[in-house]
Structure 1
Amino acid sequence: MGQLLGPSFPSDIGLAVSGGGDSMSMLYLAHNWTRIWGVRLWVVTVDHGFRPESADEAAMVARECSELGWPHSTLRWHWDGQGNKMDAARRGRLEMIDRWRGDLQHVLLAHTRDDVAETFLMRLARGSGVEGLSAMAASRTVRHGGSRPLTAPEFDGVLPQQSMPVKGGPGHHSAFQVVRPCLTMTRAELRHYLRTLKGRWVEDPSNDDPAYGRSRIRQALPALAELGLDVTTLADTAERMARARNALRARAVQVWKEIGHEGRAGHIPTGEILFDRSGFEPVERDTQLRLLAAALQWVSSAEYRPRIAPLDALLDRLLAGGAGTLHGCEARMERDKLRIFREFKAVQGLTQPLDQGDGRVPLWDGRWQMHGSDTKGEFVRALGEDGWAQIGERPEAAPPFHSAKSLPSLWQGDTLVACHALGHTGTPGTRLWPMGQEMGSFARFLLSH
């Protein structure tokens, strides 16, 4: 904890506890640590509702926290049945924790060395490269564009301090740190600690259910250990892959600074990523793929990188002078540059009414903050062909039609009010300012993705 958070520790910190052995061990460890360093814990349990016992397990955690003297909240998340169940649960858990945490800037999770080894094998089975095979970080930033407040049916217990909404943004910091202090410990070590302290925990039967890929990997580990592929060896390999990943990221940043830039029309960001064609084409393929993947993820604000097979295919088309779509983006190799921008189909029909009085700025497409006038009925949508037709003279640095179609713009009915990136500022008094990722943020994004 000292390495991850010291020497100036936060006064308050979040702690996610499911009731399983790993997280209950972390609760007792953190309880003892905080008594020395004067840190206040806020404990949260996310009940996914997958098993009938889950509510009782959350109640067990709440009772244990009460005995230890820490506030506890139970959050209820419901799967909508879409996509992969376990991936949806992981995403939902982070979203619920973000909505719960209020002013907390750090949340502890109890991932162990065993989790690193299991994840390495799962991703190896999927054919992942250096990025996927790298060990999870002991601390990482989770970014959100603002969160809905929790409602009474979604939680029980005591919530951390929740700031009031502030003008110009969400009511709390849009990023927080996930901290994993147990990554150097094995699951067996934590169980030994629990038994020594006579702690309480529950065993989740899904951990032994062969329907889940992680369970199958976990059951195969003893046999692999006999071949020399034990948890320590696998985790050490994942950590070495993480060092290699960091070196490759640094190389990508170096190339980016030489041949890339974020799109701007004058001083207005356009949300595009641009590479000089003459500089991009001779770069080694791994760096080309890394830059392209990061650009697609950055432009679309997607949580994950695109899969390697379609990414490889798109790069081949671009290097042949063509174009393609992937990850909600479009990429085109133009005469002198490679341009990556938001695909129009991904935002077609997406509208966002402007805020009318509570001071918060709504997000459009998950990344653009739109500041509009006080005129009722105005809304944000993609420019489209009809908006392009209403634009008069455009600035010399404005993006071309195929990219401009997906730009955020301010409308009233069928009338375009403003699209600053194309020089259309609207009527006097109209305030429209598209604030995507701040300029200069792509280099930082490359270093962390």
Structure 2
Amino acid sequence: MNVPPTNAEPDINPASGFDAIDFKELRSVVVAVSGGSDSLALLHLLISYRATQSTFPEIIAVTIDHGLRPESADEAHFVAGLCKTAGIAHRILNWDGPKPDTGLSAKAREVRYKLLCRAARDADTDMVLAGHTLDDQIETFVMRSARTGKRGSERGLAGMALATLLDREVWLLRPLLDVSREKLRDYLRARGITWRNDPSNDNPKYERVRIRKALRLMDNRGIAGEVVVKASKRRALNDKVARVLPDCVTIYDGIRAEVSRADLGLQEQDVQQLVVAILMATMGGQSYLPPVENCDGVLEHIHSKRSSGRITMNRCVIQLRKDKVLIYREMRSLPSIVLDPGRSVVWDGRYQISNHTNKPMTITATGDKGLGFLGGVHNADFHRPSALSSPAVVVVGEIAGIPAIGDHMKVPNGISVTRYLALFDHILSGYDEILAQSVAETFQLQGYKRSPVNQINKN
């Protein structure tokens, strides 16, 4: 096993990947290291970059052992030995408990992000570096292209962003997105550094593996350029919508959006589509945007000659008024969740609720019983249908608070309630940072943590 070098060869300049990242003020930085070539090259390049800086945060390597293969524990200890030789702190975090029979890859990714966030909190940092490469970016583009189809949104074709915010807390950075895997392996070979191959990377039951093998037979040199173009278009559209939202959308109590029909109609079609998509996702508590055809159906409804009428789409009611349209959560498929002491839950994708009391409570839809709790006197902005589908906090069988409505936002001591935007709060792509900030401001919510990457210099 080789000691990581202190100076990089000119074939890969560490500064090209790390200069755009603001490491100042950090006490430490977490690096996700699996033992494969990509993550080992990332670690070695970061060590080389550190040697060129007068001050630099502590590097902490973290290996996630998913426990899905017999070799995984040995691979984790392989990384531990490498880091010990290099004088780098290292942790192994395990995915404990049962594994799902279906959706294993998605669940493994979710757990991996959760454990990396835990490692970042433990290290008192908000930055994690991951070794995604240009090959990963191209594979992602091809997979999403196949799913998008002719009528689908092209937003996903921008691929992975350089920076992604996890749970409003930790930035996951991918500084090697413009470097090929083979170039990274050449970097390691030149230094006599070995890596471990994950056999699942050759298992054709996984879509990414099938795409990877197909790409070997294709001329994919133009795909990276297409990704750059799609990313630029996504950011440009986001910027337009971020400017439009405050002028044509008003949010009431976090549960109802009112949109000026005239102001919306003045915008370009793609801007209108994204505005209604965002409002349906945030009012419907969903972590993804609705299909383009659904947005077009809503826009057809909005721009009709009718002065009243309603349709439902993506868990939302779209209700026409003379000069505006109301969008709010429909009264259907609303969860009822028991929240034990010391626990936290995201209710209906719209509210983060924590129980710091010593009693269990139930979070359910307000419904008619909740409206009775509110009484008959309401402010001028009160809207009964959207109030019905807002959350109620029930303690010992009695309603203790209706957090979304007026003075009743003051729930009992020990209960915290925050409006949650499932579209951005769990995973926020760096492409959407400006857009998410505008949405948060429109909802009068706390803004998102600023990216530590200078996108102008990077791009």
TM-score w.r.t. length of structure 2: 0.76
Q: Is the 8 A contact 1:45 1:74 kept in 2?
A: yes
Q: Is the 8 A contact 1:350 1:381 kept in 2?
A: yes
1:146-185 matched pairs, under 5 angstroms: 174-185=168-179
Judge which range, 390-399 or 109-118, deviates more: 390-399
What residue number does 1:81 align with? 100
Q: CA deviation at 1:374?
A: 6.8
Tell me, yes or no, if structure 1 residue 253 matches structure 2 residue 245.
no
User: Of the candidates 163, 174, 179, which is equivalent to residue 139 of structure 1?
Assistant: 163
Separation of aligned partners in 1, 2:345 and 2:161: 32
What residue number does 2:43 align with? 27
Separation of aligned partners in 2, 1:315 and 1:189: 48
User: Of the candidates 272, 291, 312, which is equivalent to residue 324 of structure 1?
Assistant: 312
- Matched position secondary structure for 1:44: strand
What residue number does 1:41 align with? 59
What residue number does 1:154 align with? none
Q: Is the 8 A contact 1:130 1:244 kept in 2?
A: no
Separation of aligned partners in 2, 1:420 and 1:51: 46
Deviation per residue, 1:109-150 (Å, 9 max, x gap): 1111111111111111112533111132212322x2xxxxxx
Q: CA deviation at 1:332?
A: 1.5
What residue number does 2:260 align with? 276
Q: Is the 8 A contact 2:37 2:195 kept in 1?
A: yes
User: Of the candidates 306, 317, 339, which is equivalent to residue 352 of structure 1?
Assistant: 339
What residue number does 2:3 align with? none
Tell me, yes or no, if structure 1 residue 94 matches structure 2 residue 95.
no
Separation of aligned partners in 2, 1:253 and 1:347: 30
Q: CA deviation at 1:19?
A: 1.3
Deviation per residue, 1:266-319 (Å, 9 max, x gap): xxxx34333223333454332222122222333455443334455555555565
Q: CA deviation at 1:353?
A: 5.0
- Matched position secondary structure for 2:337: coil
- Matched position secondary structure for 1:219: helix
Separation of aligned partners in 1, 2:290 and 2:84: 44
What residue number does 2:137 align with? 116
Q: Is the 8 A contact 1:417 1:427 kept in 2?
A: no
Structure 2 unaligned runs (5+)?
Answer: 1-16, 421-438, 452-459
AA of the residue aligned to 1:403: S
- Count of residues in correspondence between the two structures: 401
Q: Is the 8 A contact 1:350 1:365 kept in 2?
A: no
Separation of aligned partners in 2, 1:428 and 1:282: 41
Q: Is the 8 A contact 1:106 1:176 kept in 2?
A: yes
Tell me, yes or no, if structure 1 residue 64 matches structure 2 residue 58.
no
Q: Is the 8 A contact 1:25 1:194 kept in 2?
A: yes
Distance 1:392 1:75, change over 3 A: same
Q: Is the 8 A contact 2:131 2:175 kept in 1?
A: yes
Deviation per residue, 1:6-55 (Å, 9 max, x gap): 37262310100111111111111122222333321111111222322122
Q: Is the 8 A contact 1:395 1:422 kept in 2?
A: no
- Matched position secondary structure for 1:4: coil
What residue number does 1:219 align with? 213
Separation of aligned partners in 2, 1:23 and 1:424: 52
Q: Is the 8 A contact 1:351 1:364 kept in 2?
A: no
User: Of the candidates 381, 404, 418, which is equivalent to residue 387 of structure 2?
Assistant: 404
Report percent identity of matched pairs.
Answer: 29
- Matched position secondary structure for 2:19: helix
Q: Is the 8 A contact 1:79 1:85 kept in 2?
A: no
Q: Is the 8 A contact 2:393 2:402 kept in 1?
A: yes
Distance 1:45 1:311, change over 3 A: farther
Separation of aligned partners in 2, 1:279 and 1:317: 15
Structure 1 unaligned runs (5+)?
Answer: 145-173, 265-269
Separation of aligned partners in 2, 1:281 and 1:74: 54
Q: Is the 8 A contact 2:345 2:353 kept in 1?
A: yes
Separation of aligned partners in 2, 1:409 and 1:53: 48
Distance 1:52 1:299, change over 3 A: farther
User: Of the candidates 28, 44, 50, which is equivalent to residue 68 of structure 2?
Assistant: 50
Q: CA deviation at 1:379?
A: 5.0
Separation of aligned partners in 2, 1:289 and 1:181: 32
Separation of aligned partners in 2, 1:302 and 1:403: 17
Distance 1:123 1:374, change over 3 A: closer
What residue number does 1:167 align with? none
Separation of aligned partners in 1, 2:376 and 2:101: 45
What residue number does 1:163 align with? none
Separation of aligned partners in 2, 1:393 and 1:425: 13
What residue number does 1:286 align with? 270
Q: Is the 8 A contact 2:155 2:234 kept in 1?
A: yes
Tell me, yes or no, if structure 1 residue 12 matches structure 2 residue 33.
no
What residue number does 1:204 align with? 198
Q: CA deviation at 1:217?
A: 1.6
